[in-house]
A and B are shown apart, each in its own frame.
Chain A
Amino acid sequence: MTARSHLQDHLPYDHPLSPRSQYRKLPLLARLFIDYSARDLWETDTRRLPAPLAKLRRKACAFAQDVLAPTSSELDLAPHLPPGEYHPKAREVMELAGRQGWLSYFLPAPIGSMSLRAGIYPPIWQCSLVVEEFSRACGGLMLLLSAHHLGTMPLMLSGSVGTILKFLRPVYQSCLRGDPHLVAFAITEPGAGSDAEEGHGAAVYRPGVVATPVDGGYLLSGRKVYISGGDLAKSMTVFAALAGEGMESWTCFYVDCPSPGFSVARTEQKMGMRASGAAEIEFNDVFVPHDRVIGGLRQGWALNRATLNTSRIPVASMGVGFAAAATQIAAEFACTYMLGGKRLIDYQDVQLHLATMLAETRAMRSLVWQEARHAWQPRQLFASVCKFQVTDRAQHVCEMAMDLLADHGSLHENRIERVFRDVRLTRIFEGTNQINRLSVIEDWQGELLGRNPVIGSLGV
């Protein structure tokens, strides 16, 4: 950095009082504890990861920047397509993503694309790294790619190797061949939304989809709403109550979307993440054979909640990705926009603003990585804390970026308004952030009330 390019009121690195240059003059032993390499922050974080995960992060970043980012704006602004229609650019992206392994990375070969060396780390950690990079480039395509993993999660968590080999393997193999077989996750019911989380508390539960036993299997009837990727999915993990029973009978069925009686009634016109559809699905006596009951009869509720525990940390990482994008947009604007003959970044209040955004983003990432690295058996409390805290703060960072761009913040071409529309969804789906706060207490109540009433022993 030269004196010419240093920021006003800050010392250039080569100034005698700049600590950065002085550290290098200290004795070797001192330098070992004091000197540091101020490389790019993204690079610093990547190097802190175990090597296989660092490699994954670099690969995800390259794919996001080379493939997702260039089509992001076009897909966001594209007209709303009829249910089931693929935007040609989105199809291209998905085919390439499939071939590169982005639709099959939860399991290693010979089933999926996970690197064997990465296999010793929780898949949720891997997923969080990927989702952050994809979110930074395009919220809509990120969701289209990620909703598929949510859909496959009940198969993976079923505890049955047979289920994985019979159903998940062909899905992954098809994706790897470049023929994306997307799987959607269908829990939300009409008039519900967060009821998917709290329906068990309903005085009278009225199931959105009912499974009636027939010879050889079940007939599914009813509706599911707001199903991410449901319009393009080839199969779907559907949660339904058994006929005449309540929510405790919820069972997961693996449904083939081309089955007779299955239809996509509509897709929603969303505020953001517009490259991914949210579909309303109609089941009209859709036959599902016995062998497509996933995880056992009446095990659907537990399977659903376990799936949400695995997905909420990656949802938090979407927030990190959006906050990182917002911070980057704001920093680029501040470094290039001129006011009164100076760059905005030369003004002290702008520096304070950006420093806060950076700190917020890094605090979010720290929380997500901290939880993700231990998420072999993700606890509800940790997953929900991560989800609501990070997504709430992520939106705040996006708002800070819009504020910094001020008069220019509302223009689509400056990107931040789209990032805001994208991040807004993360506070709603996978249980609203209010529901996630209650999920924390639900999981924590045993410690709060139970065994030892001495507050100090809670271990907060």
Chain B
Amino acid sequence: MSIDPDDVGPLLEEVSSFAKARIGGAVTRPEEPLPIAELENLTREALELGMLPTGGEAGFGLWESCDQPHDMEFNIGVLRHVARANVGVAFAWHRQALARCLERSLGAAPAGDDLFGTILAPTGHYGLARNSLARWLAGSEQGGDEFHLLADWLDRRTHVTSFVAPESWKFLLWPVWHEGDVLWQRVSRDNVWVRELRFQHGFDEVCAYQILNASGEGQTWQVGGGVSRQLYARILKLDMLGLLAIGSGGMARGLELAREYASIRKQGGKRIDRHPAVQRMLSDVEQACRNADLALHACAQPVDELDLGLVAASRANIHEMLCMAANQVVQVHGGIGYMRDAGAEKLLRDMNMLKLQTGGTREIGAFLAGWFGDYE
């Protein structure tokens, strides 16, 4: 099922209005995180509006349609608009929607309710399994060492997995390794060891957790062979694209913040946006935003035609640029940019968080070597 191309614009207008009025309205103070009850209310509203996929029949919610360029345009647009209002909310919805869509692809009956019933943790316990995951996804011939690495990377029995999610999550969907194949496992929060960590760097609206499934128990789905590789690559592409879209939306707000402040604050007898030093910083932010938009535009293709290496390479570069841009937003503000009630520092923390998700960006170099180079 695909969205009518003519509907994308009007639908995104609606999402934009909702994000500005409801999410933006609920988070007026950047230093005060959105209470969980408020996040749930907003999620309920988003579900009712059809912005997010439900456990029922397929609709046009986030990530439900990914097979046409305009579907992808819609998905990217939704996350951009939501992130412009609040990056943490956008992240929570992105991972929830992706979990729901993965459940559908697996033919799994939805678990829990629609309010953050199932959350996705798309990668292993650290990084991106160097170049081994990419080589497995590309169908390269692999030896025992690489299988050993992948088995360890996805070993949920002995390695603790860190992830961030809304407090009310009930099930976690993650990849596990089984005899040379990636399976998808859904574990109940009640049946695994979970440690709630009180503080994390950013995404103040959600919590950080560590989880260990020592018994290895959980509902498991195996799609097998090439389909298994294709499905995992698809999930990684959508996840990385989602993170990029969230970063792009968040920094669009950052650019607004920096411009607004630079147009009212005076120094040396004139507005600071008249100073080349500040103009240059604003240009850095502008440049990062435009590069992110360009990358997202290039990725608005049917997901199965999209090259995973291209998405990963974009993620590596663009998140670095977005973090630098968020730093410039803080810097344009000067002292007030460091204060929690101004919003700039929160944006910087959130940009750092985006970079650290899905294995972080440092290992993308190794991942690309495995994807493009077929190096062992």
Are B335 and A349 in contact, with the CB atoms below 8 A?
Answer: no
Interface: A85 (CB within 8 A): no
> Which listed residue (B145, B201, B277, B327) contacts A417, Cβ 8 A?
B201
Report the separation of the CA atoms of residues A188 and B197 in the bound assembly, to the nearest whole angstrom. 37
Interface: B123 (CB within 8 A): yes
Are B130 and A420 in contact, with the CB atoms below 8 A?
Answer: no
On chain A, the residues within 8 Å of B345 by CB distance are: 271, 424
Closest A residue by C-beta to B344: A271
Interchain nearest-CB distance for B191 vs A (Å): 22
Are A412 and B338 in contact, with the CB atoms below 8 A?
Answer: no
Closest A residue by C-beta to B355: A403
Are A339 and B126 in contact, with the CB atoms below 8 A?
Answer: yes
How many chain-B residues does the 8 Å CB contact rule pick out?
59
On chain B, the residues within 8 Å of A270 by CB distance are: 338-340
For residues 138 through 190 of chain B, which have their beta carbon under 8 Å from a beta carbon of chain A?
145, 148-149, 152-153, 161-164
Report the separation of the CA atoms of residues A289 and B31 in the bound assembly, to the nearest whole angstrom. 41
On chain B, the residues within 8 Å of A428 by CB distance are: 330-331, 334-335, 337-338
Interface: B265 (CB within 8 A): yes
Are B268 and A402 in contact, with the CB atoms below 8 A?
Answer: no
Interface: A9 (CB within 8 A): no
Binds B, one of A48-56, A193-201, A248-256: A193-201
> Which listed residue (A198, A268, A337) contacts B268, Cβ 8 A?
A198
Are B340 and A411 in contact, with the CB atoms below 8 A?
Answer: no
On chain B, the residues within 8 Å of A203 by CB distance are: 268-270
For residues 395 through 445 of chain A, which have their beta carbon under 8 Å from a beta carbon of chain B?
395, 399, 402-413, 417, 420-421, 424-425, 427-429, 432-434, 437-438
Interface: B200 (CB within 8 A): yes
Interface: B54 (CB within 8 A): no
Closest A residue by C-beta to B148: A340
Are A425 and B338 in contact, with the CB atoms below 8 A?
Answer: yes
Interface: A120 (CB within 8 A): no
Report the separation of the CA atoms of residues A425 and B261 in the bound assembly, to the nearest whole angstrom. 19
Report the separation of the CA atoms of residues A407 and B360 in the bound assembly, to the nearest whole angstrom. 6
Q: A271-B345, A402-B352, A404-B362 are in contact. Are A412 and B198 (CB under 8 A)?
A: yes
Q: A269-B340, A340-B152, A347-B130 are in contact. Are A410 and B200 (CB under 8 A)?
A: yes
On chain B, the residues within 8 Å of A404 by CB distance are: 362
Are A407 and B338 in contact, with the CB atoms below 8 A?
Answer: no
Are B198 and A337 in contact, with the CB atoms below 8 A?
Answer: no
Q: A226-B335, A270-B340, A339-B153 are in contact. Are A406 and B126 (CB under 8 A)?
A: yes
On chain A, the residues within 8 Å of B200 by CB distance are: 410-412, 417
Interface: A191 (CB within 8 A): yes
- Interfacial residues, chain A to chain B (CB-CB below 8 A): 77, 188, 191-195, 198, 201-204, 225-226, 268-272, 278, 337-341, 344, 347, 349, 353, 395, 399, 402-413, 417, 420-421, 424-425, 427-429, 432-434, 437-438
Report the separation of the CA atoms of residues A192 and B335 in the bound assembly, to the nearest whole angstrom. 9
Q: A269-B31, A406-B359, A427-B331 are in contact. Are A202 and B126 (CB under 8 A)?
A: no
Are B268 and A406 in contact, with the CB atoms below 8 A?
Answer: no
Are B338 and A271 in contact, with the CB atoms below 8 A?
Answer: yes
On chain A, the residues within 8 Å of B85 by CB distance are: none
Report the separation of the CA atoms of residues A175 and B338 in the bound assembly, to the nearest whole angstrom. 30
23 contacts between A and B (CB under 8 A): A193-B335, A201-B267, A201-B268, A202-B269, A203-B268, A269-B340, A271-B339, A271-B348, A271-B349, A337-B126, A339-B127, A339-B130, A340-B145, A340-B152, A349-B366, A406-B359, A409-B201, A412-B198, A412-B199, A424-B348, A428-B334, A429-B335, A438-B277
Are B208 and A410 in contact, with the CB atoms below 8 A?
Answer: yes
Are B331 and A432 in contact, with the CB atoms below 8 A?
Answer: yes
Report the separation of the CA atoms of residues A2 and B199 in the bound assembly, to the nearest whole angstrom. 40
On chain B, the residues within 8 Å of A198 by CB distance are: 267-268
On chain A, the residues within 8 Å of B339 by CB distance are: 268-271, 278
Are A406 and B127 in contact, with the CB atoms below 8 A?
Answer: yes
Report the separation of the CA atoms of residues A292 and B130 in the bound assembly, to the nearest whole angstrom. 65
Closest A residue by C-beta to B150: A340
